[in-house]
Structure formats: structure tokens, C-alpha cells
Amino acid sequence: MKIVILDGYTENPGDLSWEGFEKLGELTVYDRTAKEDVISRIGDAEAVIVNKTPLDRKVFEACPQIRYVGVLATGYNVVDIKAARERGIPVCNIPTYGTTAVAQMTFALLLEICHHVTEHSDAVKRGEWTENEDWCFWKYPLIELADKTMGIIGFGRIGQAVGKLAKAFGMQVIAYDAHQNDSGKAIGKYVSLDELLKESDVISLNCPLFPETEGIINEKNISKMKDGAIFANAARGVLVDTKAVIRALDSGKLLGASLDVYENEGNYVPKDFSNKEFDDKVMQELIDRDDIIYTPH
């Protein structure tokens, strides 16, 4: 069996071994693959392994010999599942990949909004503290999370891990998820989406990308939130209508937002952002604002 890994560097920058795959067949590993090279690099491989490289219907049509797709991540929206299913191709992901890491990142994003640690550190290095008249110095109001309500949209493994951390911070936890379970009930209270939006001081997005969750943070749902709410998205970019978030920040409806993912991130590489001809004005506005924390996925 021929096996191809299209973007191996993402998961293995050199500190892991591909020996397990090598035992299964003839293995070819590419560090990264451009969209136009996907089909040619798959060639006659029967097993295709990806992390971020998209496999759309055209790929499956051009490579009918594919028998298996493995996604080295939890989210599998990079694969056209419908096209794979039509051809009887199993698509496997890693459900427990990154559970604690993503939960920790969620709180890193929230704490940055609450304390602006990076900006305060930079201010000290610029000499702003030593030039301040008072010993106490801050550039933003500091927010305590204790006794606030954390609303978690998507209460699977990652969402529940976020809920445990929220409880450790002294927060009340409520959650919205189409599939309720006992482990979730032990951490927080399941509520409707409308109730979550209404009651939460802080909202965390930890749900998969499905048609029913795409754009779940939109103008209509933002209008249902508390004034001054903040939210973090460490899930998928297209869960959020970015323009609606910017309008809500401008109006004061939202106090801040922390994003580890971006609505159109799959269309760019990071060097695009510094290009003078970069034409995504929404992305540029995100970069220029100090009420949005944006990290590189």
C-alpha cells in the first residue's frame, strides 16, 4: 500500500518518527503541499494523511484509488466528507488530539483580554511604568473572572475541559450542546443557546464546524448577549461573522474578543498580511485593533 502525508511538518517538525506509517506500506512524506500540487503528490497512493491540507471533491474525482483518509487533528472540515462517503472512503480523525492544549489556549486568550499581559509587559519595557507618576500603572481595566458566568458553546471533550478550568477560576459554567451527557452535567448546566447568550459574561467557542454551527456568532446572536460580554474562539474561524464582531466592538456591545482562528484563514499564508496589496480589509482591521487578541492558530 502506498501512503502519502501531505503536510507532515505541521505535526512533526522533526521530533517524532513516521516509523509506524512506514510499517504499513510505502511512505512518502511532504512537509507542506500547495493546493495546486495536491493531486499530483497523491498520485496513486491509497492512503492519504493530512492535517490542514484540503481534500475536496476534485481531489477524490482525480484520485479514485484512494481507500483511506487520515486527519492528524480533531477537526476534519478540511475533507469533503460527502464526496468521501459517496466513494466509500473512511475518514478518520483523532478525537482526543489537543484536548487539554486547546482548553489551556482558550484561557490564555481570555486572560489576555482580561489583563493585556503582553501590552503591559511591552509598556514596562518601553519605560512607561518608570515614567508614570504613580507606582500603580495600568493601561486597561483589569477583569476578574471569579463569580462570572462562562458560557461554552460545544460541550464535548474540549468544551468540558474548558469548563473544568472555568470552575477552578471560580466561574459559573453553563453550556449549549446538541448532545448532552452525564460528564457534562457534572461540570456545568446545559441551557438553550438563547439562554447561554443572555446569561454569559464570557463565551467560549469549542464546537465543531457543522452547517448548523457555521456563523453561530452573528449579528442576531450578538444582540442577545450581555452588554460588555467577551468571547474566545479556539475552534474554527467560520463559526464567527467577523464583521458583526467588529461592529459590536465599535458600539460597545462587546468588550473584547480573542481569536485563535480567522474566518478566511485558509485563503492566506501569514506573509500576505504584511503585503501592501493585501486586500482583506476585515483581516487588516483585526490586526490593527487592541480590543481583539489574535493568535496564529
Cell of 287: 490586526
Active site residue 236: yes
| 148 Cα distance to chain centroid | 23
- DSSP characters for 67-136? -EEEESSS--TTB-HHHHHHTT--EE--TTTTHHHHHHHHHHHHHHHHH-HHHHHHHHHTTTTTTSSSS-
Q: Select from 207, 249, 250 the least CA-distant residue to 230.
A: 249
Question: Helix 99-115 crosses helix 117-125 at what angle (to 10 degrees)?
Answer: 60
- Cell numbers describing residue 3: 501512503
CA 32/CA 210 separation, integer angstroms: 26
Q: Please pick, among 116, 157, 236, 263, the residue that the annotation labels catalytic.
A: 236
Residue 78: partners with Cβ closer than 8 Å, 6 or more residues away: 50, 51, 52, 53, 54, 55, 71
Residue 167: name the closest of 182, 152, 154 by CA. 152
Q: Among 116, 157, 263, 265, which one carries the catalytic annotation?
A: 265
For 53, counting Cβ atoms within 10 Å of its Cβ (0-12 exposed, 13-18 middle, 19+ buried), the class is buried
Round to whole Å and give the CA distance between 208 and 241. Answer: 16
Give yes or no: 179 in active site. no
Active site residues: 236, 265, 297
